[in-house]
Structure 1
Amino acid sequence: MLEKKQARPQADAIEQIEAYIRKNALQPNDRLPGEREMCEMWNVSRTTLRSAIHRMTEEGKLYSQKGSGTYVAQPRMERNLRDMKSTSEQIRGTGHIPGTRVLYADVIECTRYLSHKLHLPLGHKLFFLKRLRLMDGAPYMLELSYVDYDCCPGIENISFHEESLYAELKRFGVQMAEGHETIGITYATEEESQYLQVDEETYLFYLTSTSVDTDGKIFEFSKSVARPDKVRFTNTLHRRADPEQKGSNEL
């Protein structure tokens, strides 16, 4: 009961902030009033207001600049987990500008861990591609891809600063039929925090996926960490159609 009582003032403050943004038609990067003014406007304590701002910042709705104030954040990219488009295609589809920094691209040997994920023998050749994915010039995802090298000999000579991995694999005759993706939460390591420009131990989305070709063979395994203030993940569910009812219903 006490927890609910404490959460209610924060929720009320969040509603007030969201209503203020809508009423005043604030756009991304527009500044909110100062904390003292907002406390007086809505008769809330400084502690409650800061708690609400912190929550909205974690959700990617606001951001703060030390000594300057609190601002409306750019909307996060929405990525549908059922969408098999490339990362660049997904970013463009939401009106943002994609970018890529290639951190590593070379042929490596399959480790025990990767052998299990790709169903390949130890020491098998893999193409390893490590990329920092950018959205509107800012880092939002660190992506590690491991591809069966038998599918694409010579692919390490291609520059992936601008080229799509899946587009190049198609040129090698690899056609993706399906993918399996899982999502969880992790905390930024020192290396990840530097690349993604977040504090160490900041929570991140953690994704793993396998891609299967038209012959039913796994040709790629990937791991990614993404900033939750830059992207959100959605999934569209469909109820199975009743045998006596045509079509399907979206939930």
Structure 2
Amino acid sequence: MSDEPAGLVRPDRRRPEPLWHQAEMALRDLIDQGEWAPGLQIPNEDRLCEMLGISRITLRHALRNLEEAGMLRREHGRGTFVRSATMVAGVRGLTSFTDEMQTLAVSPGTRLLLAQVISATREIAEALEIAEGDSVVQLRRLRLGNGQPIGIQTTHLPSARVPGLFEAASDVTSLYRWLKDNAGIVPVKAKEVYRVGAVAAGDASDLELPVGTPAFEVERITFDQRSPFEFAVSTMRADRYEIRSTLYV
């Protein structure tokens, strides 16, 4: 039919992959290749089943996975739409931003905005359990997903625990990997606090948003077996980053 995308690859029952996985990949390809643009309402379930040659149960499995991956959104009473580039973090382990994006099938990126050694303020010192005025490495980084800005993260680490980090900062892509390989630091737990905030004047240009746009403000203190080693403050674009949780009785 005329509304069938030219690049659609129909699932093949002779292939070893489950039909739901083939259907998910077929629809994902339409989005990735731009045949289904952000904001587009995709065909209804009956039409998709016809196009893909699969059952409704199989289709819903594929659609649910794409929705959880942040590629589709369902609006009750309206239909299903292609999302803009929103990163959806579901059940989350203690991982770096790089690993989290790769888990979501998103290409991670980092742009170093600032690296400096500063004296710990009272807030930083309390978070890292060090003395006020102690030397701290501060990294300010723009975090990217598929080349688009997602957030700005300002990270503080005790200089005594991360020798060489300041000098290597411009080459660090995954901070946690660098810490493991060069400082023997392996995170074991973290505490995070999410607040509703707004994009500050100093962040607006890099985040490509107007000043005052609603955003997530995230504070994170990360620990290894010894002590807290990281205090990070992030501003995340609310239109490109979500947290979803599944609650159990």
Please classify the TM superposition score into its range, dividing by the shorter chain length. Answer: 0.5 to 0.7
Picking from 195, 205, 228, the partner of 1:184 is 195
Distance 1:158 1:79 in 2: 29
What SS does structure 2 have at the residue aligned with 1:101?
strand
Inter-partner Cα distance in structure 2 for 1:180 and 1:94: 22
2-side partners of 1:225 and 1:78: how far apart?
16
* 2:38 is the alignment partner of 1:29: yes
Root mean square deviation, CA, Å? 2.5
| 1:80, distance to aligned residue in structure 2 (A) | 3.5
- Amino acid paired to 1:102: L
Deviation at 1:60, TM superposition (A): 10
2:179 corresponds in structure 1 to 169
Q: What does residue 73 of structure 1 align with?
A: 83
TM-score, length-scaled by structure 1: 0.65
8 A contact 2:107–2:146 mirrored in 1: yes
- Asked whether the 8 Å contact 2:94–2:188 carries over to 1, the reply is no
Q: Secondary structure at the match of 2:188?
A: strand
For the structure 1 residues 30 and 161, does the alpha-carbon distance in structure 2 shift closer, same or farther, using more than 3 Å as the test? farther
The equivalent residue for 1:134 is 144
Kindly indicate whether residue 199 of structure 2 is the aligned counterpart of residue 199 of structure 1.
Answer: no
Does the Cα contact within 8 Å between 1:61 and 1:75 map onto a contact in 2?
no
Q: Which residue of 232, 236, 241 maps to 1:226?
A: 236
Cα deviation digits, residues 39-72 of structure 1 (max 9, x gap) = xxxxxxxxxxxxxxxxxxxx9979xxxxxxxx94
CA shift for structure 1 position 31: 5.1
SS at match of 1:132: strand
> How much does 1:74 deviate?
2.6
Do the aligned residues in 1 keep the contact of 2:110 with 2:173 (CA within 8 Å)? no
Show structure 1 runs of 4+ deviating over 6 A: 59-62
Which AA in structure 2 matches 1:124?
A: D
Task: String of CA shifts for 1:71-112, please: whole Å, max 9, x gaps.
Answer: 943352111463211101111111111111101112211112
Report the Cα distance in structure 1 between the residues aligned to 2:116 and 2:37, rounded to whole angstroms. Answer: 39
TM-score, with length taken from structure 2: 0.65
* Cα contact 1:177–1:212 (8 A) shared by 2: yes
Q: Does 1:157 align with 2:175?
A: no
TM-superposed deviation, 1:154: 1.6
Percent identity of paired positions between Structure 1 and Structure 2: 24
C-alpha distance in structure 2 between counterparts of 1:79 and 1:182, whole Å = 15
- Give the corresponding residue for 1:11: none
CA contact (8 A) 2:106 2:146 kept: yes
- Relative to 1, partners in 2 of residues 1:224 and 1:105: Cα closer, same or farther, differing over 3 Å? same
Using the alignment, how far apart are the partners of 1:61 and 1:103 within structure 2? 32
> Shift of the alpha carbon at 1:162?
5.0
| Cα separation, partners in 2 of 1:146 and 1:80, compared to 1, 3 Å | farther
Gaps spanning 5+ residues in structure 1: where? 1-24, 33-58, 63-70, 238-249
Q: What is the correspondence of 1:107-126 to structure 2 with a 5 Å cutoff?
A: 107-126=117-136
C-alpha contact (below 8 Å) 1:183/1:208 kept by paired residues: yes
CA offsets per residue over residues 4-33 of structure 1, 9 Å max, x none? xxxxxxxxxxxxxxxxxxxxx98233657x
- Rounded to whole Å, the distance in 1 between the matches of 2:84 and 2:133 is 45
| Cα displacement (A) at 1:114 | 1.1
